[in-house]
Amino acid sequence: MALAIHFHDQIQQPHAASLRDEVLAGFAASPKQVSPKFFYDRRGSELFEQICQQPEYYLTRTEEQILADAANDIREIAGPQTDLIELGSGASRKVRLLLERLRPVSYLGIDISEDFLRTSTQRLAADYPWLDVHAACADFCDGLELPDDFEIHHPLMFFPGSSIGNFTPEQARQLLGHLHEILPPGGGLLIGVDLVKDKTVLEAAYNDRAHVTAAFNLNLLQRIRNELDCDIDPSRFVHRAFFNEGESRIEMHLISRESQEVRLEGRHFHFEPGESLHTENSYKYTLDSFAALANSAGFACRSQWTDARELFSVHFLQRQP
């Protein structure tokens, strides 16, 4: 029998209302756009886990290897009796490396996908019966408050997957500043950051030959169709991802195949042939540029780790007074 977890629903408004309001605003914008946080319904979360297994998608396996190699160093810097807080926990696979080496006293997984979060944290509770497991369904893009009954004494936040890259550098600085406010002086933030590299490697990672990333991107439209009053047809759009060198970011778009009208919540939106719906950015950093960004938000970089090819990096940041 699965062990009980402490579950906290911190979404401030009904999920459908949040989706409706933001999609309406995004479709009315110029250029049209939708936040990547809406990728992660249950189907989207499952597709992302499949993306992580694609040979072109180096990010997940590289970060996992870095964490495995650096685990003893991380444990030494973090110290004993940690309270581990994972942002964007997803399937909670990478965090198992930390649970086994650090053996924290408590764990809090935070994710926007409620069903996926419940499943993954139940598995953690069953696999680590000595661990006090909490789960918070929350959108930390809109600010984050830790649950009242999750007492932290020696916190270590874990933000894997280079999800920080989904924010513009200024938004990333603001998010790091918010985490700085939550953490006590000396609190730690272990964060994965994708690095600038050859364009062909970057673009292949977001255009896998099995077309799983394309399905993941198009599933956003299927979610809009399923959950809102909308007649959008995903088959009338095509996935596109490319590296914008000037902005140092991968961009993901859904491109309209033809001229079409989309009905959404009583309103009509026109798409020209070739018109883009911008769904995601993924900014890439150098080691020095990310350390400078973290420092501007009140963090000092205690250590950095990379793989031999310097594809990816993990940073241990410490909150300064």
Q: Find the farthest-apart pair of alpha carbons in the chain and give their distance in angstroms, rounded.
A: 60
Residues 6+ apart with CB under 8 A from 257: 236, 237, 238, 273
In Å, how far are 3, 40, 108, 148, 155 from 152, measured between CA atoms?
22, 28, 10, 10, 6
Question: Minimal CA–CA distance to 164: which of 11, 67, 289?
Answer: 289
Q: What is the pTM of this model?
A: 0.91
Provide the 10 A C-beta neighbour count for residue 263.
12
Direct distance between the N- and C-terminal alpha carbons of the chain, in angstroms, rounded to an integer = 44
Contact residues for 228 (Cβ-Cβ < 8 A; gap 6+) = 16, 19, 20, 23, 264, 265
Residue 231, helix vs strand vs coil = coil
How far apart, in whole angstroms, are the C-alpha atoms of residue 291 and residue 295?
A: 6
pLDDT of residue 146: 84
Residue 113 structure tokens: 């996908």
pLDDT value at position 17?
A: 55
Q: What six digits make up the tokens of 299?
A: 């963090």
Q: Dihedral sign, CA of 36, 314, 8, 176?
A: negative
Per-residue pLDDT of the chain (321 residues; tens, 9 = 90+): 345 788 888 665 445 558 999 999 999 999 999 999 999 888 998 999 999 999 999 999 999 999 999 999 999 999 999 999 999 876 678 899 999 999 999 999 998 878 888 888 999 999 999 999 999 988 877 677 888 888 888 999 999 999 999 999 999 999 999 999 999 999 999 999 999 999 999 999 999 999 999 999 999 999 999 999 999 999 999 999 999 999 999 999 999 999 999 999 999 999 999 999 999 999 999 999 999 999 999 999 999 999 999 999 999 999 998
State the pairing for strand pair 83-87/299-306: unpaired
